[in-house]
Each structure stands twice: as C-alpha cells, then as structure tokens.
Amino acid sequence: MGIDKSLSDRYPSVIINGQKYHYGREPKHGQYLVENASYAKDNWCFDEKEDLQAFLINLPDSANHRARIAAAYPDWHEVTHEQRGAYLEEDRANQRLLAEGTVKSGTAPSFDMDLEGEHGPHEPQRIESRSKEPPIDRVERQIAAYQAVEAVNAKRAGYPIASGEWPLGYSDTLKLLVLEGKMDWTGVIAKDKEAVLAREVDFAKITPEQFRFVYKNIAENKMEPADPAVAQALFDRSRAQPGPTPIRHTTRNLIEAIWLDAWPRAGAIVDFGIDTQKHYEALFYGVREGEITPEALDAALGKGEKLTALARSARSNPHRDIRFTTSWDGLRDRPDAPESTGRESGRGFDEEPMLTGKEAEALHAEIRSGEATKPLPSPSEIVEGNRDTAATEKGQHQEKDRGRK
C-alpha cells in the first residue's frame, strides 16, 4: 500500500543518484523530510532542522544511510530497540560534526532553504562532487557497501553469504539493474566500467527482453538515465561467443530430472554415484541455483572425487560432508589412468569411442571447423551398447544353430 506525498513541487528539490527528492518541513507533524518526488516511501526524516542541513551538506555520502549504519554498528539487528535509538543519535551527531567541519573549511555547498514551500516551484539542485576519490574507487566502495547491507539481510533470513558476494536470489538481470541504477558512474571511464560489469554480471544469462527492461526501468525512475553503451557492448559480445559445449545424454537426463523434480534414469544414478537421497540433493540444489553448470557436471561424470568436490563447492548443498563414489572409480580402462589407454576395449569409460588413423583425423578436422559434434556417450551408455551388441550376436548364433538342426 502506498502513502501520500507530504512535499510538493513548491518545495526545493535536489538530485540524489539521478533521482529527484523534495526537501522541507512537512506541514502535518512539523518534521523535516527528504522525500522522493515519485515514491513517498523513499524518504529520510529528521526532527531537527540542523540534521536536515547536515544531510544536505554531506551529500551524496549521507544518502547511503543503510550502508553507513551497517558498517558502523554491525550488531544493529541483535541489540535492543533502545540501543538502536542510541546508535541513531550517535550517527546524527557524527553527521552534524562532519557538516560543521565542511562549513568551517569553506567548502560547504549552498542549498535553497525555502523549507516551508512558500516560494516554489524551484529548479532541482545538483550536487557537485568535492571528493578527491577516484571515480572507479567510489563505485567499488558503493558496491561493497551495498553488498555488505545485503549480507546482513541474507544472514537474518537464514541464507548467509560471504563478504563481497551477491545474495543467492539475485539474478544477473537484477545485478545489472542494481549496478546501473544505484551506483554513481559519474567520471568513470568506459574501460573501468566494463571491467566491473564483466566481473559482476554474466551477460550470457540475460535475455534481450530482460536487458531492455533494465534500462527502461531506470529511465522511468531516474532523471538521469543510465548510459547503456558499455553494458550493450558486453551483452552483444556475449551473444557472439560459441554456444555451450555438448554434454552427454546421461548428463542431460540428470539435469532435466532435476528441473522436473524427479529421479533420473538408472544410467545417471550409476554414472553420477547417486547412492542415496542425500547424494541427489547435494547435486540437485547446486544445479537449481546455477552453482553447478551442465559442463562442470558432465566433466565430473564417472569420477567420484570430482563429483565430491563439485557438490561441496555449491553453497546451496545441504550436505556439505557428502562423498561420491562411482562404479568407474579405479577401473583400469579409464583413459586417464596411467596404466592403461583404454585400447583393450576400443572405448574409454568417460570419453567418446576411441578413434585412430583417418577416423581420428576426420574428427579433429570437424572440431577445428567449428561444426557441432554429437554429445559424448556416458559409461552406462557404452556398457548398455555393448550388452545390446552381445545380445544381438547371441540371437544370431541361436538362429544359425536352429538352422543346422
């Protein structure tokens, strides 16, 4: 449910992070507000005029209230209501001292102080940065502060995350929306911005519709829309990259079963060492949360140690001490075993059928040409294929025996 705005265009306004905020003394309760011109719930409220003045003088840093409180008082959510009140009073005092120092140094900006809204409307005022901090350092600091606040929220919700990480529920679309919509990129050169966006966002996971939504949303909510040029270049580049590596049918079956919330076929159960419900869950949540990719899962097929490491690396895995073993562990005919090359059977247990001579040359030429190759067979598929061949040969021998009789 929304709330009615307290301040109109008759009050002075200031641009904070691209959005317009009115400020002044609201008439109903006599408090001093800094209120979003489009969304009344987005506001700062002060009982004293001096606190409003300090807020304006200390902009833009004073607007990052949540991050400042989280950094100064890490036990904020564990203490009593009375202690939080004491923390807020201490923060206000610190902000007033900071503003007084700025005024004494002669570097304080001037603001329209028609706080009763008697002489409006007024032109929005813009904040001139006085900081000597490099622009890219400012952005990195803002990202770290945002993630610190979200880490506190994630911990309270029961899903703790490591420092410098995004909450598990953040899609790459949401990350881009936060980075472009909440960070101040003023003065940051394209090369530096590209490095940050490429580090934080996987553009290959964003659809064209989602990409357009991000910048449409920002344009609707900010007076100074974000420049999409750098992100557009990264987005276009992600579309030009080669497609995903083909994966084996058994791996595909396991992934499909996970998304359908069902059990995979027997071949996947064997090849991935899924001996218990816990083993399945250890892979299930990692795949669902995008922490285990199809390519990584396929590379670990038939390899207990790799499956164990993969499952334990997934933050969403509820069984962190899980250990995987597969029927293929320790077999001589594995192509990566030093004692054997797999030539006894002509096939490797976790590779495609082994080729020699002209067949191998033809396969290598196909790969170099960039043409799609068929998914590699899994160990169980190889065994099942051998069994089918043996059964066929046995049937043929029986037919011949009956013919002789």
pLDDT tens digit string along 362-375? Answer: 433 443 343 333 44
Q: Which pLDDT score, from 0 to 100, does residue 369 have?
A: 43
Please name which of 313, 334, 318 lies closest in space to residue 281, comparing C-alpha atoms.
Answer: 318
Distance (Å, rounded) from C-alpha 128 to C-alpha 371?
A: 55
Lowest mean pLDDT among 160-174, 256-270, 305-319, 378-392: 378-392
What lies within 8 Å, CB to CB, of 111 at 6+ separation is: 12, 14, 56, 57, 125
What lies within 8 Å, CB to CB, of 89 at 6+ separation is: none
CA distances from 389 to 88, 351, 384, 395 (A): 77, 19, 9, 10
Q: Categorize the per-residue pLDDT at 343 as very low, low, confident or very high, splitting at 50, 70 and 90.
A: very low
What lies within 8 Å, CB to CB, of 372 at 6+ separation is: 243, 246
Residue 241 has pLDDT above 90, yes or no: no
Dihedral (Cα; 195, 199, 201, 203), 10-degree rounding: 70
Higher pLDDT, 150 or 197: 197
Lowest mean pLDDT among 214-223, 240-249, 339-348: 339-348
What lies within 8 Å, CB to CB, of 23 at 6+ separation is: 7, 11, 12, 13, 14, 32, 33, 34, 35, 52, 56, 115
| C-beta separation of 206 from 173 below 8 A | yes
Longest dimension (CA), the chain: 115
What's the pLDDT tens digit per position in 47-72?
999 999 999 998 888 888 777 887 78
Task: Tell me the mean pLDDT in the region 110-124.
Answer: 88
Output the pTM of the full model: 0.49
> Cis ω on the peptide bond leading into residue 244 (within 30° of 0)?
no
Higher pLDDT, 236 or 380: 236
Distance (Å, rounded) from C-alpha 349 to C-alpha 198?
A: 37
Residue 378 has pLDDT above 60, yes or no: no
Residue 367 CB neighbours (<10 A): 10
- Give first-to-last CA distance, the chain, whole Å: 89
Residue 403 has pLDDT above 80, yes or no: no
Lowest mean pLDDT among 13-17, 83-87, 283-287, 319-323: 13-17
Q: Tell me the domain boundaries of the chain.
A: 13-126, 135-240, 249-387
Is the sign of the CA dihedral 331, 336, 341, 347 positive or negative?
Answer: positive
Structure tokens that stand for 253 in this block? 């079956």
Distance (Å, rounded) from C-alpha 168 to C-alpha 157?
A: 11
Lowest mean pLDDT among 26-35, 320-329, 380-389: 380-389
Q: How many CA atoms lie within 13 A of 110 on its CB side?
A: 2
Task: Tell me the mean pLDDT in the region 3-25.
Answer: 86
Q: Categorize the per-residue pLDDT at 32 as very low, low, confident or very high, splitting at 50, 70 and 90.
A: very high
| C-beta separation of 384 from 267 below 8 A | yes
- Enclosing H/E stretch for 85: helix 81-104
Q: Which pLDDT score, from 0 to 100, does residue 385 have?
A: 54
Residue 398 has pLDDT above 90, yes or no: no
| C-beta separation of 254 from 297 below 8 A | yes
Q: What is the mean pLDDT of the chain?
A: 79
Phi, psi of 21 (to 5 degrees): -125, 130
Q: Which pLDDT score, from 0 to 100, does residue 276 have?
A: 94
Residue 5 has pLDDT above 90, yes or no: no
Structure tokens that stand for 166 in this block? 């995004």
Q: Which pLDDT score, from 0 to 100, does residue 351 have?
A: 39
